[in-house]
Structure 1
Amino acid sequence: MMIVDLIDGDDFRDRLVALGIRIPEGACPETCARMARCKQREVGVPRLAETVRELMARTDIMLPSVRDAIERFLLPELR
């Protein structure tokens, strides 16, 4: 039996925090995406677009709440 590590809200938050975005512990995926969008609009976030592309390439193991947050708040911002 193969066990797959899903991309959940904590993983999403951790990736954004690694990019220098300050996000409170326990923030939901929507809050994480909104805060990332705000930071992108204010000062830009190096590697945000690359990180989003990497995540979206893994939608098969991504929780729907994370995918929805990325699609609603980050993809339109990064186009």
Structure 2
Amino acid sequence: MMIVDLIDDDDFRDRLVALGIRIPEGASPETSARLARLQHDEEGVPGLQELVQALGERTDIMLPSVRAALHEVLLPALQ
């Protein structure tokens, strides 16, 4: 049996923090996405476009809350 790690709230937040985005511990996926979008709009975030693209290809292993934040908040901002 194969076990797949889901992209959960913490993983999503950690990936955004790794890009230098300031997100408080325990932030929801929607909050994380909104803070990422805000920082991107204000000063740009190198690597955000690539991260969003890579995550968009993995929605099958993403929690619904993370998928919604990605599709409703970040994707529209980066298109």
Give the alignment of 1:1-79 within 5 angstroms.
1-79=1-79
Q: Any unmatched runs of 5+ in structure 1?
A: none
CA RMSD of the aligned region, Å?
0.5
SS of 1:31's equivalent in the other structure is helix
d(CA) in 1 for partners of 2:53, 2:64: 16
- Relative to the length of structure 2, the TM-score reads 0.98
Please identify runs of 4+ aligned residues in structure 1 that moved more than 6 A: none
Q: Any unmatched runs of 5+ in structure 2?
A: none
Q: Per-residue displacement from partner, 1:37-73 (whole Å, max 9, x unpaired)?
A: 0000000000100000011100110001001001111
- The percent of aligned pairs where both chains have the same amino acid is 71
d(CA) in 2 for partners of 1:69, 1:59: 11
- Relative to the length of structure 1, the TM-score reads 0.98
Q: What is the number of equivalent residue pairs in this alignment?
A: 79
